[in-house]
Structure 1
Amino acid sequence: MNHAYILTLSCPDRTGIVHAVSGFLLERGGNIEEAAQYNDHDTGLFFMRVQFACESLGFEELRTQLQPFADGFGMRWSLHATSAPVRTVLMVSKEGHCLNDLLFRWKSGLLPLDIRAIISNHRDFYQLAASYNVPFHHIPVTAATKAQAEGRAYEVIEAEGAELVVLARYMQILSDDLCRKLAGRAINIHHSFLPSFKGAKPYYQAHDRGVKLIGATAHYVTADLDEGPIIEQDVARVDHSRTVEDLTAQGRDTESQVLARAVKWHSEHRVLINGHKTVVFK
């Protein structure tokens, strides 16, 4: 059996937290293989990620013993077995570059995911899904049917036990209700370097402003459009000669890479939410 685990935690900062966590694991025969911590002086919060091996205790035993320990520090914490890939549902519309990239990385063993389903409001990628043997759910969305469509999509997400939902260029604005249900487990890729050029057609907005850099932003989904905690960003240099179509084509590579990094870090439990920001232990 694989007895490797990842513990993530946040709590009010105080002296001795690292010592206490290390001592707790040592007392149970744990061997720390990787550790990182961060003190946010603005909020007074402490964040930590520890990857460790523990042959003497199983997952549920560790969880049971961690609870009273964590309570003593007021911790928000999670424990994950490294052998358990993150159950994931992908959502897409008619731009498939991010979807294709994630599927290829997953099948190549580069992402610790268990992709359980693909949801789309168009039929364009059902053959791509079939080639990876992933169930494809076509759920059309109109203004009149948006609530019912979201309900069906959420049923799929829950039926698959999804721990992560990736909006891989899913060009629909999620309702406040669905955003709340998916809080902390839905990642969106926005084809712009936020906070600039929010909303629709950011490449058109960027071209109109004559920007010299275009970018992409992967962030957690919240009810505030394109304002969720940012996980990863990147840019590509452009100049005055580039058309909107040029910017769009060049941006696709950046979008795919940014989203893949964000999904990888999330699935390796390296991202902790810190209010409207994130702490990312790369």
Structure 2
Amino acid sequence: MTGAPYAGQFLTPGRFAGKVAVVTGSAQGIGQKVAERIGAEGGAVVLVDRSELVHDVARDITRAAEAAGGSAAAVTADLETWAGAEQAVEAALTAHGRVDVLVNNVGGTIWARPYEEYDEEKIEQEIRRSLFPTLWSCRAALPAMLKQGAGTIVNVSSVATRGMHRVPYAAAKGGVNALTRSLAMEVAGRGIRVVATAPGGTEAPPRRVARGPEAESAVEKAWYQVIVDQTVESSFAKRYGTLDEQAAPIVFLASDEASYVTGSVLPVAGGDLG
């Protein structure tokens, strides 16, 4: 055993056999990795993203998933809207008749700057991006799960609820944490678990779909560097995590192995608790 980061070498064959999982924000990054993992463990995965790239990702996952007894399909939808969330869940129900797992992965910092440098429009956009997709998607999936008497929701939050230069994003992810705990309490007696992970900084390939404009001025680049430096310094491991290190706990929490875990927000940030 080395100290090297987890590289996705462990799978649990059949862990999601017979399960239908909706994974949002799955055209790239953590969401894509989670969808790949559930498909490789036998699940029927419905990938949701507003980017058309999600269809290419689903085709790639299908080839590996079918060998494990799983499948993959894609839906394009804008999850910042109720209509988009409803559309995504309806697509899964039409195709499979049920939703066993919902992984809410949409979100992410759009701008990096001191709070006094955010204007009204930017604040509202940050909240819409990182809170409303989870609120809407939970609400859209809940009736089907209640009818089934079973289901698991895994929300992807962030340890940046305590962080520099992204106060609106921190507020949105604080809302995700509150949603997780409150909804878990409300539906635990009806067979539904609601949990979350709180990722720290994560190394990933260059984004194929940008969350927002690139930092252009020297000041903007310096504001973003503050986030990077604080993220590394706050981690006991003094590094960013990998996509596999983020996907593994999400997939565990989504599985029946975590049947006694609900209402919890698990920090996955090398020791940074947020």
Q: TM-score range by the shorter chain?
A: 0.3 to 0.5
TM-score between the two structures when normalised by the length of structure 1: 0.45
Q: Based on CA coordinates, which of the two structures has the bigger radius of gyration?
A: 1
Point out which structure has higher relative CO (alpha carbons under 8 A, 6+ apart): 2
Normalized per residue, the structure richer in strand is 1
